[in-house]
Structure formats: C-alpha cells, structure tokens
Amino acid sequence: MGRLSGKKAFITGGAGGIGLGIALAMAREGAKVAIADINEPLLAEAMLVAKGLDITSVHCDVSDRADVFAKIDKFVSDAGGLDILVNNAVMFHYALMTDFEPEIVDRMLNVGLKGTYWCLQAATPHLKANGGGAIINLSSIAVSSAIPNASIYTSIKGAIDALTRQQSAELGAYGIRVNAVAPGAIPTPGANSVIDAAGWQAREQKTLLKRLPTADDIGHAAVFLGSDEASTITGVTLKIDSGMTLT
C-alpha cells in the first residue's frame, strides 16, 4: 500500500520538468495520475518514462477555460473521482520590464495565473463531492527574491501564494486543503530557457546544502501534502530550496 493508494490526481504541465517529477512520485505511491499538458511530444516521452505506473496523458491547455473543464470532468468520470489537483503549468519568459511584449505578458498570465484559476474552478465541485481533497499550487522562492528580468514571472508566483491562502479559507470547511510548494532553482526545460550555466552554478553555491533540489525532491513534498499525513496542513507555502533563501 502506497501513501496515496486509491487517490486520483490531476497534474497540469505534467509532461516534463517538475510536473513530471510530481506525477512519478505520486504514481509510485499508488495514485492514479493524469498528466495534462499542451506539449504532445513531451507527453509521449513522459508516457515512456511512466511505463508500469498508473499515469494517463491528457492534452489540455490550461489557458482555455472550456478545455480545462472538459478535461477535468472527463478524468473524474474515467477515474471515478478526484482527490488531488496540482497546478504546475507555467510559461517562463525573462525580459526587462520595459521590453516585455504585451502578447507575452498576456500568455504568461493566461497560463500561470488564469490557468490555475480555471483549474481551481473546475476541480472544486469534484473535490467537494469527494468529501475533501488536496490542492497543491506551484509557487517559487523567486517571490521573495529580487531577480532582474523576472517581473511577470514573480508577479504571477506572488499571486499564486495569495490565491493559496484565499482558497484555503474558502475551501477549508469542505475538507479541501490548499497548499503551495515553492521550489528553489531547478534545471528544467523551462528554467533552462532563462538561466545559463553560470547562473546555475551561482545558485548552487548559494544553497546551504551545496546542491540544488531536483524535480524528485518536489515530488516527495507534493506526495506528503497530497497525503492524509498532511490532513491538518492548509494555507501553507513550503519552501524546498536547499536553504538558498537563507543566505
């Protein structure tokens, strides 16, 4: 028996990076998992990695509210319920605030913030019907740091922190816990598009543990927050950064 046996989890942006780390960790603990993503080739690769685990791939664009409702409803109907929602999908882009193209600002907000909101709206009735559940949002340590060129990304993540607290208040009475994890810097396809080798080295040196966390590390934390072991934890943002923000 795994720590998530019998639980059903819907993970956005689950085809790669941290989302896939969370999906694999949850499935290894017995959860039935859907990885929802727009990147078809990455979804296909992820399904190879997930061989032998109870993971299905779902093409879902979180910025499209109708698509989100359709895909979450279908997963719930196929799986027989919903226990865990992980809001992980994001679009990375760094630029000087004065140079940010309006179209990119819109896309980032549509994926990272509004996409999270649509997923919360679509999943909540199912979690209520389930008698409770766990929502895990992806925040970032970037929220409390000052990072040049990251004005939109950090604004989105700050909003995710606020949303986590607000939704924990609205949903607590239904037994729905809402928490966030705030990873430190982790080399993923998305993060590699905005951080170079020297940047990774500098970040690693800044950690107290002298190693960056991995997607697996975030997966382990998400398993805990999604499990009944965390049944009295809500409204919390858990930093997983090898102590980087303490230095």
Ligand X SMILES: NC(=O)c1ccc[n+]([C@@H]2O[C@H](COP(=O)([O-])OP(=O)(O)OC[C@H]3O[C@@H](n4cnc5c(N)ncnc54)[C@H](O)[C@@H]3O)[C@@H](O)[C@H]2O)c1
Catalytic residues: 153
Q: Which of 80, 69, 153 is nearest to 117 (CA)?
A: 69
Count of residues making up the chain: 247
- Confirm or reject binding of residue 226 to ligand X (CB under 6 A): no
Q: Which is nearer to ligand X, 82 or 191 (CB)?
A: 191
- Among 3-11, 16-24, 71-79, 225-233, the segment contacting ligand X (CB under 6 A): 16-24
- The verdict on 244 binding ligand X (CB under 6 A) reads no
- Residue (62 or 152) nearer to ligand X, CB: 62
38 contributes a contact to ligand X by CB under 6 A: yes
18 lies in the site for ligand X, by CB under 6 A: yes
**The one-letter amino acid at 35:** I
* C-alpha span between 61 and 7 (Å, rounded): 23
| Closer residue to ligand X in complex, CB, 112/133 | 112
From the list 84, 180, 186, 223, which residue makes contact with ligand X (rule: CB under 6 A)?
186
Residues 6+ apart with CB under 8 A from 212: 184, 185, 186, 187, 200, 203, 204, 242
Binding-residue pattern over the window 143 to 182 for ligand X, x denoting contact by CB under 6 A? ----------------------------------------
Other CB atoms within 10 Å distance of the CB of residue 172: 14
Q: Which stretch binds ligand X (CB under 6 A): 26-34, 71-79, 84-92, 225-233?
A: 84-92
CB-based burial label for 157 (10 Å; 0-12, 13-18, 19+): buried
Pair 120, 167: CB distance under 8 Å: yes
- Name the one range near ligand X by CB under 6 A: 23-31, 59-67, 166-174, 231-239: 59-67
Q: Say which residue the tokens 């925040």 belong to.
A: 139
Binding residue (CB under 6 A) for ligand X from 79, 91, 119, 123:
91
Tell me, what amino acid is at 95?
A: A
* Binding stretches for ligand X (CB under 6 A): 12-13, 15-19, 37-39, 42, 60-63, 88-92, 111, 115, 138, 140, 183, 185-186, 188-191
